[in-house]
Structure 1
Amino acid sequence: MSLLPVEEAQARLLALTEMLPTEQTPLADCVGRWTTANVMALRDQPFADLSAMDGYAVAAGAGPWRVTQESAAGGPLPPPLVSGEAARIFTGAPVPPGADSILIQENATRVEDYVSQSAGDPLLPGLHVRRRGSDFTEGDMLLSPKSLLGPAQLGLAALGGHGALPVRRKPRVSIIATGNELVAPGAPIPLGKIPSSNTVMLSALLQTLACDVEDLGIVADNLDAMTAAFDRARHADVIVSTGGASVGDHDLVRPAFEAAGGTLDFWKIRMRPGKPLIAGKLGETAFLGLPGNPVSAYVTATLFVLPLIRHLLGNPQVLPFISSAPLANPLGSAGDRDEYLRARLTREGAVALTAQDSAATKALAQADCLIVRKAHSPAAMPGETVSIIPL
């Protein structure tokens, strides 16, 4: 089986699945998801003419005015004022009919029931008044379909009268770590064993998206054990395994996946690190078998797992954002696979880190971007522009 170009592999992976169904979801659980329909305002905001300052609501002009009432936020709508009257008013309170300006309290002098302007420019109609519907009115479109819901968007929806929004169901992701050499993080580490880091790393990476992650634990390099793990994960929308994806005697993920009834779509990508990537379907569940080396797992998750989750959630931009930066240190020519080099952005540009081995996790922790180099790219010198993926 020839190596598949990264772009073709990404397209084939996304074609394996449909976006998840829409559900009405409470606002508090919508963050990081995308709307599937127009979100329309159910009310005017502000609901009435409101004061933007503490002071006195008056008819624009010269005073003094007689204070006849008070208006506070959350109170009843005030009765109208007649000529020469004023209302003591507070920020966010409704402006009484008959008033069109706010005399702020710093510019006001009050003597018993009368108030006059003692400082400031002459009052003009509309001064310090937030007009009804000046933000939006009932029936306005607040959010279009495929809008990413962050704090500001959720606040807007709440002000618009909504308690829930139409978004796609959260994907369920099951993670399987494979390898006889693995022990749980924090457990005693016998000679010849290593802590399992990929599940922790991938779970944290997936937390950047709205999905539910299930850790199915460490599975030994045993065909029956791996097949049983796939059976336990059938309820998920996506299964992600790490390790056992290559061609060694103990690399059993692919045969176990097929023994469980899975159908392989592609295997092996023209990239470094991350060549032995497996993708397919187990019933309606998408499967991605990532390499076991942590850097390879991280890079392939960035290029394949995260795009798949974005696709299921209805994100219109599923692939990693690719930017550009000047190169800060020289690079040799690329090999016969696309390269994803750990790097850091500095004032001088992108600095490729020295350690690029797929097991060098310290360099991964130090990186804040990947330099993307196409196969057979010539050597590059400082100052040349390179493509980067921010991490």
Structure 2
Amino acid sequence: MATAFKPLMPLDEAWSTLQAAVLQHVQQGAALARESVDSIEALGRVLAEPLVSRVDVPPLDNSAMDGYALRVADLSSSQALPMGQRVAAGQVGEPLAPGHCARIFTGAPVPEGADAVVMQEHTETSDPAGPIRFLHEVRAGQNIRRRGEDIACGQTVLSSGLRLSPAALGVAASVGAQRLSVFARPRVGVLTTGSELVMPGEPLPPGAIYNSNRHTLRGLVQSTGALAGDLGVVPDDLDATRAALREAAAHHDLIITSGGVSVGEEDHLRAAVQAEGGLAFWALAIKPGKPFVFGWLARPDGSRCLYMGLPGNPVASFVTFLLLVRPVLGVLSGEPWALPTALRLQADFDWPKADKRREFLRARLNAQGRVEIFPHQGSGVLTSAAWSDGLVDLAPGQTVERGQTVAFVPLSQWLQPSFTVCQA
């Protein structure tokens, strides 16, 4: 009797299913523990609580450059003023004496009574002690950074759910935050399957291949800030696969596997996941990446570990991680559900053969700012992923002629925190 196959699921439907499932998983308390870390060690972590400033930044009016602080009204009768004091950064000067100017340096507090700073290049003097002659018209307020100009006391400067960039850490430091409340990093178990796989450095017997997916997936997990647990390789055996999943589920928030999710007689992962938990969907209308599985694994205490089974072909594994695993890891890390935004750019290639599935081509920007594609787009050609800096997103049935506009998604939108938030 012939087996009835379900229609392939469109990617947008898969995204909606994943979003609902992972948000429900988190709302049920399955993840998102919090911890306090030193702000200087918080790069790439996701903020668990809004950061509210308890100070003004800058704390006082200060000079934007090296020069001279003065009272503009004192220039009405003379373009030269004697110098009354010298104020360096970290010092607080005396109130400005009438008819005098003050030598001042970048970042130094502006003396009381001064209402402008003139850069030293717009002055001249024959004696460092003065008088100082001002060569251009001076406007009140020029070259003064006002108290609270950047940040006001009581202002929320960093929002919960923000992945902390180097600039964000600088903002936290500028308001005196020594420690930050962040979400715990999700624990991701990476399991590769296949009796033919051997590790680099081992002899390569006939019929065997080196295990590239183990390195690629572990690196992709680490690039998101999650904790990657290397679960090694499981042979093509149902009992061994079930045992490996059962053990991994007890210690991880998400298990990802590569290979073993198709319909071959040696593909045991779907059956193993069904036996140890349940399946939400499998088989997507995308190329590469059709044999993708999403489900869950049961734990003895009744809780669940999420499961995502990626194809075995290296490029398909790479692409499905970006498209499907990365958004889920964002939520498990404390970020909102988010998907990358495509850029509309000019194609520097032809693609005359349309596919029925939504297709993702390995591509990069050339020196002319146009999109070129790797010449060999097979799902086993991992060099195409290493060569590219983005993916071209083609709709089902779409062809491309050189010069047309295509949707290009930079890899940096997946591998760095630059997502556009999508509303639930």
Same fold? TM cut 0.5:
yes
Match in the other structure for 1:116: 131
Q: Alpha carbons of 1:379 and 1:132: their partners in 2 closer, same or farther (altered >3 Å)?
A: closer
Give 2:185's aligned residue.
170
Q: Is the 8 A contact 1:103 1:123 kept in 2?
A: yes
Quick one: which of 44, 56, 60 aligns to 1:48?
A: 60
Q: Distance in 1 between matches of 2:313 and 2:265?
A: 17
Report if the CA contact (8 A) 2:81-2:101 is conserved. no
Match of 2:383 in 1: 362
Structure 1 window deviating more from structure 2 (52-61 vs 193-202): it is 52-61
- 3-state DSSP of counterpart to 2:242: helix
Identity within the alignment, %? 38
Distance 1:351 1:79, change over 3 A: closer
Corresponding residue for residue 395 of structure 2: 374
Which has the larger displacement, 352-361 or 78-87? Answer: 78-87
Letter in 2 for 1:237: D
Which residue number in structure 2 is paired with residue 269 of structure 1?
Answer: 284
1:309, distance to aligned residue in structure 2 (A)? 0.9
Aligned to 1:160: 175
How far residue 66 of structure 1 moved from its aligned partner, in angstroms, is: 4.8
Residue in 2 that maps onto 1:319: 339
Determine helix, strand or coil for the equivalent of 1:137.
Answer: coil
1:386 maps to which residue? 406
In structure 1, which of residues 6, 12, 15 is the aligned counterpart of residue 11 of structure 2?
Answer: 6
SS at structure 1 position matched to 2:113: coil
Corresponding position of 1:280: 295
- Which stretch has the larger CA shift, 132-141 or 295-304? 132-141
Is the alpha carbon distance of 1:92 and 1:325 closer, same or farther for their aligned partners in structure 2, counting shifts above 3 Å? closer
- Partners of 1:103 and 1:117 within 8 A in 2: no
Please say if residues 22 and 36 of structure 1, whose CA atoms lie closer than 8 Å, have aligned partners that are also in contact.
no
Superposed CA offset, 1:125-172 (max 9, x none) = 334322222222211232344444322222122212323344433221
1:192 to 207, 211, 230: 207
Contact 1:31/1:210 (8 A) holds in 2: no
Does 1:248 pair with 2:264? yes
Structure 1 gap segments, 5+ residues each: none
1:22 and 1:166 in contact (8 A); partners too = no
- Matched with 1:73 is 89
Are the counterparts in 1 of residues 294 and 309 from structure 2 also a CA contact under 8 Å?
A: yes
Counterpart contact for 1:36–1:145, Cα < 8 Å = yes
Corresponding residue number in structure 2 for 1:58:
70
SS of 1:279's equivalent in the other structure is: strand
TM-score (norm 2): 0.81
How well do the aligned residues superpose, as a CA RMSD in angstroms? 2.7
The 2-side partners of 1:59 and 1:378 are apart by: 68
Please tell me whether residue 299 in structure 1 is matched to residue 314 in structure 2: no
- Please report how far the alpha carbon of residue 108 of structure 1 lies from its aligned counterpart in structure 2 after TM superposition: 4.6
TM-score of the pair, normalised by structure 1 = 0.87
Whether 1:340 aligns to 2:323 is no
User: Judging changes above 3 Å, is the alpha-carbon distance between structure 1 residues 287 and 116 closer, same or farther for their aligned structure 2 residues?
Assistant: same
Q: Secondary structure at the match of 1:364?
A: helix
Contact 2:83/2:103 (8 A) holds in 1: no
d(CA) in 2 for partners of 1:103 and 1:388? 48
**Using a 3 Å threshold, how does the CA distance of structure 1 residues 103 and 351 change in structure 2: closer, same or farther?**
closer
Cα separation, 1, equivalents of 2:52 and 2:135: 40
Which deviates more from structure 2 when the two are superposed, residues 278-287 or residues 219-228?
Answer: 219-228
Give aligned pairs, total. 386
Give distance in 2, aligned partners of 1:105 and 1:332: 64
Q: 1:116 to 1:317 in 2, by over 3 A?
A: farther
- Structure 1 residue 104: deviation in Å? 4.3
- Counterpart for residue 222 of structure 1: 237
Q: Which consecutive residues of structure 2, in runs of 5 or more, have no partner in the other structure?
A: 299-303, 412-424
1:21 aligns with 2:37: no
CA contact (8 A) 1:80 1:97 kept: yes
